[in-house]
């Protein structure tokens, strides 16, 4: 049987990351994983209505560009904001689907409780 060892280094959020969560209107986590590239942190703060710039950034850096599952507005993987339980598997499966920053700011995201996480 193969044995795997994974180490995740957490660090405090930087100012630019705290601004991102503040702009979305959701509480920021206490810590984060590896820091995103500096340009990615700043491009996320641009208004979502600047779709050409966000679309170009997503294409150049290999992020997805898809419509939001709730409002059908296109958004890029670098703009990932909130999430909702996966409609295919339902609540309690531990799976979620990302939604756009616009829907997150409107309060359509779901904060997962411990009850929503799968029990192993």
Least confident span in 5-14, 34-43, 63-72: 34-43
Residues 59-117 pLDDT 10s: 998 888 989 888 988 988 888 778 887 788 777 777 788 888 888 888 887 776 655 55
Helix/strand/coil (H/E/C) assignment for every residue in the chain? CCCCCCCCCCECCCHHHHHHHHHHCCCCCCCECCCCCHHHHHHCCCCCCCHHHHHHHHHHCCCCEEECCCCCCEEEHHHCCCEEECCCCCCCCCCEEECCHHHHHCCCCCCCCHHHCCCC
The pTM is what? 0.62
């Amino acid at each position: 049987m193969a044995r795997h060892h994974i180490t995740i280094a957490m660090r405090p959020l930087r100012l630019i990351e705290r601004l991102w969560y503040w702009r979305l209107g959701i509480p920021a986590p206490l810590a984060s994983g590896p820091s995103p590239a500096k340009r990615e942190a700043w491009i996320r703060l641009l208004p979502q209505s600047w779709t050409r710039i966000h679309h170009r950034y997503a294409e150049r850096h290999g992020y997805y560009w898809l419509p939001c599952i709730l409002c059908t507005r296109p958004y890029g993987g670098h703009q990932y904001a909130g999430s909702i339980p996966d409609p295919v598997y339902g609540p309690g499966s531990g799976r979620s689907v990302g939604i756009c920053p616009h829907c997150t700011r409107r309060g359509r995201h779901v904060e997962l409780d411990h009850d929503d996480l799968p029990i192993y």
